[in-house]
Amino acid sequence: MGEKTKIAWTDSTWNPLKGTLGPWTCVKVSEGCANCYAERVTVRFGGQHYREGADTPRVAPEHILKQPLRWRRPRRIFVCSMTDLFAEAHTDAMIDEVMSVVATAAMTNGHTFQILTKRARRMAGYMLRWYERRPWPLCLYDKAADPLPGLWLGISAENQRRYDERVLDLLSTPARVRWVSAEPLLGPLELGPALRLGAQGIGWIVGGGESGGPMERSLVTRQGWPPAVSRWEIKPEALEWAVSLRDQCQLERVPFFWKQWGGPRPETISPALDGKVYHESPVYNIIPAAR
């Protein structure tokens, strides 16, 4: 995990928190976790299933922890793609070590760090305390009232229930960009007033279907027989959900990124929506890298 990734909305992944028995560890907390790709990869590499007490997290060795400092050209970096930075087992001290690298690398190398969580309340509380403490070198950033450039904080919201549970905590979290990942999308999603708050609200929506899970959760279905000559088609209700997300974003001029329709594999069907690929994103955090 690092230099290259197949995740279309980022440039690199970075996993500064590890497991003790296996490569990574986490705990499932909602419906979107049911067929977690990170768990599948972790188990394949000898790790434990993602359940409470199965493994003990730890901070990665220094060469991994400080990896973004060695990447000189500015890039988008997805933090903790194999776990949740704000998972209950990750202590504040562990998160502090990660955020110290985030702050330094964002300011000196111009990186954009993208963080997603299903623990929105903990993220909000931690980030408010973090800004009060300002634990990174003060010489790097002298605007105490502003969120750190290059830090995008978001929530995963697989359905309306989880979105409603998490969005208010997201809105109370200081961030240069607040965003929502509706992946795997498991139902219709009305984003509501949070999309109409400009810089104080949600600034990016990413959506997509689940890959590798059961077909009843997939946004696509196989049509025709036999399988060798059949084709994959988007489910009518799934098309409605995706179009609704796009239209809500367009109405409020919020960037919209449709990642994939899912299915057995990400490449099962083109990611196009109504004949167009939507790969919009907020403007990069461009800061000249230190030389």
**3-state DSSP call for residue 173?**
coil
What residue spans define the domains of the chain?
59-268
Length of the chain measured in residues: 291
Cα distances (angstroms) measured from residue 61 to each of 65, 66, 99: 6, 9, 15
Write the CATH number of the domain with boundaries 59-268. Answer: 3.80.30
* pTM for this predicted structure: 0.92
pLDDT tens for the 291 residues of the chain, in order: 456 788 999 999 999 999 999 999 999 999 999 999 999 999 999 999 999 999 999 999 999 999 999 999 999 999 999 999 999 999 999 999 999 999 999 989 999 999 999 999 999 999 999 988 876 554 455 555 578 889 999 999 999 999 999 999 999 999 999 999 999 999 999 999 999 998 899 999 999 999 888 888 989 988 877 766 568 899 999 999 999 999 999 999 999 999 999 887 766 788 899 999 999 999 855 444 443
Which residue bears the tokens 């890298």?
A: 289
CB atoms within 10 A of CB 245: 24
DSSP annotation of 279 reads B
Cα 105 to Cα 150: distance, rounded to the nearest angstrom: 9
Q: Name the residue type at position 206.
A: V
Cα 277 to Cα 174: distance, rounded to the nearest angstrom: 31
The answer to whether the bond into 236 is cis (omega within 30° of 0) is no
**Beta strand ranges found along the chain (DSSP E):** 12-14, 17-19, 57-59, 76-79, 112-117, 151-156, 177-182, 204-207, 220-223, 231-234, 256-258
The answer to whether the bond into 282 is cis (omega within 30° of 0) is no
Cα 58 to Cα 183: distance, rounded to the nearest angstrom: 27
- For the chain, the straight-line distance linking the first and the last C-alpha, in angstroms and rounded, comes to 26
